[in-house]
Amino acid sequence: MEDYSLIGKRIPRVDGRVKVTGEAKYAADYDMPGMLWCKMVRSPHPHARILNIDTSRAEKLPGVKAVCTGKDFGGWKWGWMPKTRDEPPLAVGKVRYLAEAVAAVAAVDEDTAEEAADLVKVEYEELPGVFDPEEAMKEGAPQIHDYVDNNLSWDFHMDFGDVEKGFAEADLVNEDRFETGRVITGFLEPPAAVALWDSSGITLWAAKQSPYFVYRHLAACFKMPLNKVRIIQPFIGGGFGGTKNDSQPGDFCAVLFSKMTGRPVKFVYNMQEVLMTCRRRHNMIIHNKMGMKKDGTITAMQSKVIADGGGYTAIGPLTMYLTGCMSTLPYKLPNFKHDAYRIFTNNPISAAMRGHGITHTRFAAEIQMEMMAKELGIDPIEVRLKNAITAPHETVNKVTVNSCGLKEGLETLAKDPRWEKRSKGQPGEGPVSHGVGISGTSYLGGAMQRGHQSCGAVVRLCEDGTIDYLTGATDCGQGSDTVLVQIIAEELGLRMEDVDIKRVDTAVTPCDAGSYGSRVTVMAGEAAQKAAQDVKGQLAGVAAEKWEADPQDIVFKNQQVYVKGSPEKAMPFRKLAQIACYSGSGAVIVGKGYSQYGIGLNDFDKGLGDSGTSYSFTSHLTEVDVDIETGFVKCTDMVIAHDCGKPLNPINVEAQNQGGAIQGMGQAMYEEFAMDHGKTLNPNLADYKMPLSPDVPNIEVVDILTEDASGPYGAKEASEGSIVSAPPSIVSAIHDATGIWFKEQPVTPEKIAMALRKKKE
């Protein structure tokens, strides 16, 4: 194994100091002379026609500088695909979910803007709403958009092998209904931005994990060339997909107001706005049918998914694609059929969230597989080992797996002494019952669906031997900046402090698709590695000429450069940099690179082919204690055996697995929007119950080492696998403690207590 100086080492984050000292600036921290504040006017109805908007009282309020409505955007709409662009910056004609923005005001300070927003008078004609996706599909249901029938936002269908033949070959065929909960990403930094329209064009300082998305949206909305749109990215206070992966009404309104007034304009959503209006994970109903032989072999699976899409399409088509295309992992599945329906409702918009699309169907399949194994008398780990894939493997829908540590992960859990403590679904007689559960799941890395997917990097050598690194990839809290700096420093034989990574600025940094689908380390990492190798190649040529050596024999390590096998031919990296930059008339050493892993896109319409460059595999053990009287669950321990290829920074890998598992725990046990006819009843962090520090279990992360050629140094995704694996592992553990299977998330104390009482009857 190659001896690396930095790769695989436990290196602190490069942004750690500026964050803990408060030096790091977030979008809400930006203030400018003459800056105005933007506030939104929001609908009190989930479904209504807009009859009239009277802005006169707001315009007369001292300090108000501008007011806008949806008509000021000239009919422009955005969305993920051309035929699904149905969302205007501000509602036009009618509102489709409660608190949808219908107008906006700009004033000299935040208080005045809020007062002015209250003075905008909007006349509505209330329309009947529909809030359940199954009801919305029925004939005669209220229509949310006129361009579709039966409120069908998007449907997606896959059919591989012969499921009827597979079911006929099975000894046991089960059909079950599962449902995932209504949850949100849970970032603590709300959406915020400062916009400036001047002679150079549009500049936006915005909290975006995919800044090149809003860059394109603003160019299209305001009919500006891309080189006149500039997104400067501050530090990001958490992302996790959805809201910060997309544009927001505030972005468009702030830019429009700056154009109208010639002044910078700022908006910051409050947490109530976030919890009432921002993008959520889709709530899904999954009807799953599985066939299994007596020995545990899965013969076929058929699933039907009905997703609550909310008022607009957003990135929903991709969500529905992911619910099916990844269902053929991580177990051998010769026959598979999948039908997915995304349905418009008068609820807030559903979009991407960490574990995008896969958390839902994997939860259903994982729990159903274990339910059937129990019915057949097969051990939960044994049924998974029986069906687990090994690499190389090609699924029935042509997903190619070149590395897989699933079996090794499951075997690691089987040897863990905690697994032997399980009750095997036979709860004890005491007031607290102990349970242990497992899961085995997979997630894609290096997402490569439609649109621009490549990442670029520029590495500039300074004359003193230090490095400026330019990337369009966003660190939204996951620590990717550190890993990317590690890669460049490793390639050039430098220290971490010799490489400075610049904040994303679309005017100077290379184009990047964004931080989603666990793609940054794989795709931006490849670009960074190639750019560093470009610089190294140029310097090696200079050194080879000086020493009359082959450029391939020039070694860069520990801030030194030398000829392989000739230690006397050596010099400090700094010295070589000076020679290269100052020789003759001088030179400018710049390296560039872009990602090419996995190029050869899949068939999106058929669900055929690879959705990512590679696939991680997570085996997850959870211990719980369940109070038999109250139903209260305490998650005490987790063991996560995770195959992310080669961990480039083990601290980051551990943190990402722990964070994903805690998010998954919240989804499985606590988090749920309480809804009443489209109204969110718990739009605050006291009542929307995300896990708190005392709720966090002891989490042990075990690295299952594999190596995949589709990632730098053999790395794969290490970010989203554990949010997919945590819910089924927890539900498995709750079953072990209670003897009851729960098919709906979250599994709250009330549900457990009621089920236990019913069991006693």
Residue with tokens 């049918």: 289
At 377 the pLDDT is 97
Residue 692 in domain: yes
The DSSP result for 14-83, as a single string, is: TTHHHHHTT---BGGG---TT-EEEEEEE-SSSSEEEEEEE-HHHHHSTTEEEEEEGGGGTT--B-SSGG
625 and 492 part of one domain: no
501 and 634 part of one domain: no
Question: If you average pLDDT over residues 209-215, what whole number do you get?
Answer: 93
pLDDT at 248 over 90: yes
Q: Which tokens go with 411?
A: 């075997």
Residue 61 in domain: yes
pLDDT at 514 over 90: no
Q: What is the pLDDT of residues 551-568, one digit of tens each?
A: 999 999 999 999 999 989
Q: How confident is the model at residue 603 (pLDDT cuts 50, 70, 90)?
A: confident
Domain count, the chain: 3
At 537 the pLDDT is 97
Question: Kind of pairing, strands 467-471 and 499-501?
Answer: parallel
483 and 443 part of one domain: no
Domain range for 522: 451-594
pLDDT at 600 over 60: no
Q: What is the pLDDT of residues 377-411, one digit of tens each?
A: 999 999 999 999 999 999 999 999 999 999 999 99
Instruction: Residue 733: give its domain's CATH number.
Output: 3.30.365.10
517 and 649 part of one domain: no
401 and 295 part of one domain: yes
pLDDT at 84 over 60: yes
Question: If you average pLDDT over residues 336-346, what whole number do you get?
Answer: 98
7-16, 260-269, 423-432: least confidently modelled range: 423-432
443 and 455 part of one domain: no
Residue 336 in domain: yes
Q: Identify the domain boundary among 594, 616, 651.
A: 594
Q: Which tokens go with 189?
A: 């930094």
403 and 294 part of one domain: yes
Torsion angle, CA of 330/333/335/336, rounded to 10 degrees?
-20
- Higher local confidence (pLDDT), 710 or 348: 348
Residue 19 in domain: no
Q: What is the pLDDT of residues 174-193, one digit of tens each?
A: 999 999 999 999 999 999 99
Instruction: Residue 230: give its domain's CATH number.
Output: 3.90.1170.50
687 and 611 part of one domain: yes
Question: Kind of pairing, strands 192-198 and 201-206?
Answer: antiparallel
Residue 718 in domain: yes
**Tally of residues, the chain:** 761
At 607 the pLDDT is 87
Question: If you average pLDDT over residues 696-725, what whole number do you get?
Answer: 95
At 517 the pLDDT is 86
pLDDT at 480 over 80: yes
pLDDT at 112 over 60: yes
Q: Is the peptide bond before 746 cis (omega within 30 degrees of 0)?
A: yes
At 420 the pLDDT is 84
Question: If you average pLDDT over residues 77-104, what whole number do you get?
Answer: 96
415 and 483 part of one domain: no
Question: If you average pLDDT over residues 307-330, what whole number do you get?
Answer: 96
Question: If you average pLDDT over residues 82-94, what whole number do you get?
Answer: 96
Question: If you average pLDDT over residues 676-680, what whole number do you get?
Answer: 97
- pLDDT exceeding 70 applies to what percent of the chain? 98
568 and 646 part of one domain: no
Q: How confident is the model at residue 1 (pLDDT cuts 50, 70, 90)?
A: low
Residue 561 in domain: yes
Residue 151 in domain: no
494 and 378 part of one domain: no
CB neighbourhood size of 246 (10 A)? 27
Residue 203 in domain: yes
Q: Quick one: which of 525, 522, 539, 535 has its CA closest to 471?
A: 525
Q: How confident is the model at residue 451 (pLDDT cuts 50, 70, 90)?
A: low
What's the predicted TM-score (pTM) here? 0.96
467 and 428 part of one domain: no
Residue-averaged pLDDT of the chain: 95
230-244, 275-289, 441-455: least confidently modelled range: 441-455
At 238 the pLDDT is 92
pLDDT at 602 over 90: no
CA atoms within 13 A on the CB side of 344: 27
